[in-house]
Structure 1
Amino acid sequence: MMNELQTRIVSHPADWTPPVQQRAFRRILDAFSYPGRISELQTQAAHVLPLVLATLADPATTLADPCELVDAADLQRLGAKSASADQAQFVVMPGRKVPAVELACGTLDSPENGATLLLVADEITQGSGLVLSGPGIQSSISLQMSGVDPLWWKLRKRWNSAFPLGVDMVLLDERSVVALPRTIKVAVEGGR
């Protein structure tokens, strides 16, 4: 579980092997095909974040880690170009903290240039809290998240208000991921 005085999240050597990354890629792709579904990843590391980055990012991508969650050696191994949060393709943020950042939402000519936010939660489970609906979800799905400030959902709504522009989200806890493409609507139960 993440805490206020957290240390950087470190990978396991196996996270950098093709078989592990291929399995992770299939699970992440499955998560995007079925938004809101919790997909478990297999890693020997304490957290899935480095495996997700090792699977998605490479020297041709840009990465922002403004809160320094990722281990420096892992950042070097990734080879992704460092960028500010408003310019990066991938942005890593802790769910508990909502810094004053803006993310790239793409342009009308290139909406695919919107960022993918990797938001680190304490725990993601089925249950009340968030109600998800939209393409890829039959009716709705309810998720419960601990360690995610509710302000993130307001920011996400603002970033995705001019579809097809917007930000895709990957929520991560120690063992699993949930994908929230920009097409998915998120409602906070008991709130707006």
Structure 2
Amino acid sequence: MTAVELTPDTAQRVFRRCLEALAHPGTILGMGSLAPDRPATHLPLLALTDLMVSVAPLTAASRDAVHGIAALTGARVGDVGRARFVLADETDPAAMRGLPVGTSLSPHEGALLVQRTTTLDAGLPVWLSGPGIDGSVTMSAGLDPQWWSARAELCAAFPRGIDVLLVDDAGRVAGLPRTSHASVGSVPEGASA
């Protein structure tokens, strides 16, 4: 499936929504959609990538989309272990473990993963806490515990880690910066249910 170019207004709106989602973890924001036959997961990459960055597919299911996005934005197609932006149209916790997390001196070299989920309204409850969150917030992203475990492993040695944009099929986005702690399935101590 080939990507379609964003209008300047749409690109600016998506860019702002992605930044706002990362600044306010767990908040669900609408980005809009490309077209009924185009996945909403393409929106952040079309708005955020350019010829200065590399983008990679997490799995083979995202390969064609990444090549189409790179052709439109000028981004380089890279390998998962070194790419700044990574697209995941399906969940694969094992493949996630290969994402770059940066170093203590260069944490900005960690990946931004754009992860597709069918909905941001169903599934296991997840409590988020950390910077940008007043106390804790609850969300349900439709992702299994193995996905959350892989993310926790990648973000365990702050400032190293990955940032995540969860994008659902309705064109909504929620951010999970590396600074957010996630507790899956049970209320963490001190949080309100």
- Pairwise same-fold verdict (TM > 0.5): yes
Q: Deviation at 1:12?
A: 4.4
- Residue in 1 that maps onto 2:19: 29
Change (3 A) 1:139 1:64: same
Distance 1:186 1:94 in 2: 22
Match of 1:55 among 47, 61, 83: 47
Distance 2:114 2:66 in 1: 15
The answer to whether 1:92 aligns with 2:87 is yes
- Residue in 1 that maps onto 2:60: 67
Q: Deviation at 1:73?
A: 3.2
Match of 2:181 among 171, 185, 191: 185
- Residue in 2 that maps onto 1:3: none
1:97-118 per-residue CA deviation (whole Å, 9 max, x = no partner) reads 3343511111122111111111
Task: Name segments (4+ residues, structure 1) moved above 6 Å.
Answer: none
Distance 2:66 2:154 in 1: 28
The answer to whether 1:76 aligns with 2:99 is no
SS in 2 for 1:123: coil
- Unaligned runs of at least 5 residues, structure 2: 189-193
- Unaligned runs of at least 5 residues, structure 1: 1-7
SS in 1 for 2:60: coil
- Percent identity for Structure 1 against Structure 2: 32
Q: Deviation at 1:150?
A: 2.0
Which TM-score applies when normalising by structure 1?
Answer: 0.85
SS in 1 for 2:22: helix
CA RMSD of aligned residues (A): 2.2
- Residue in 1 that maps onto 2:191: none
What are the residue-to-residue correspondences of 1:134-153 with 2, within 5 Å? Answer: 134-146=130-142, 148-153=143-148
Q: Given that residues 41 and 176 in structure 1 are in contact (C-alpha distance below 8 angstroms), is that contact kept between their aligned partners in structure 2?
A: yes
Q: Deviation at 1:183?
A: 0.3
Q: Given that residues 125 and 140 in structure 2 are in contact (C-alpha distance below 8 angstroms), is that contact kept between their aligned partners in structure 1?
A: yes
Amino acid at match of 1:51: L
Match of 1:159 among 137, 154, 157: 154
- Residue in 2 that maps onto 1:111: 107
How many aligned residue pairs are there? 181
Distance 1:25 1:176 in 2: 13
- Residue in 2 that maps onto 1:121: 117
Which TM-score applies when normalising by structure 2?
Answer: 0.84
